[in-house]
Amino acid sequence: MQVKTVVLMAGVLLSGAALAGGDPATGEKMVKEHACAGCHQRLIGGDGSALYTRSDRKVTSKEKLTAQVSFCSTQLKTGWFPEDEEHVVAWLNHRYYHFK
Ligand code: HEC
């Protein structure tokens, strides 16, 4: 088993019921540092966050949120690993989506 997997599993165990080990505060910082909103602002205006809250938003589950973050992260060439993306998923879920 790879070290990375062990660390990830430990994180999941420690955080218990929390979102698969993601830390919202870390995720918020990552989203700001990587200017995710820049692209979303061009799409929808304002500060870009309306993309997450519009009534016809695309993301309708935790799984879709994870997939979308991964897709956008790749577009932006962030170089994030899936376990990094978990933080961003945790932040967006905490702030906007509120999936169980
Ligand atoms: C290259 C432009 C671009 C960048 C940069 C970008 N996004 Fe996106 N994002 C999009 C597009 C396009 C959509 C889909 C909009 C649609 O289909 O209506 C989207 C949608 C989303 C959604 C789903 C919104 C919904 O409908 O519920 C999430 C979540 C999201 N992006 C997260 C991120 C995160 C996190 C980052 C920073 C890593 C990021 N995006 C950076 C273009 C971008």
pTM for the model stands at 0.84
Which of 28, 31, 36, 89 most suits a substitution to test ligand 1, by most atoms within 8 Å of the C-beta?
A: 36
Tell me the average pLDDT of the chain.
87
Domain ranges for the chain = 22-97
- The answer for residues whose C-beta is within 8 angstroms of residue 37's C-beta and 6 or more apart is 31, 47, 48, 49
pLDDT tens digits, residue range 1-47?
A: 666 665 555 554 444 434 458 999 999 999 999 999 999 999 999 99
Banded model confidence at residue 52, pLDDT cuts 50, 70, 90: very high
Nearest CA among 14, 10, 22, 9 for reference residue 94: 22
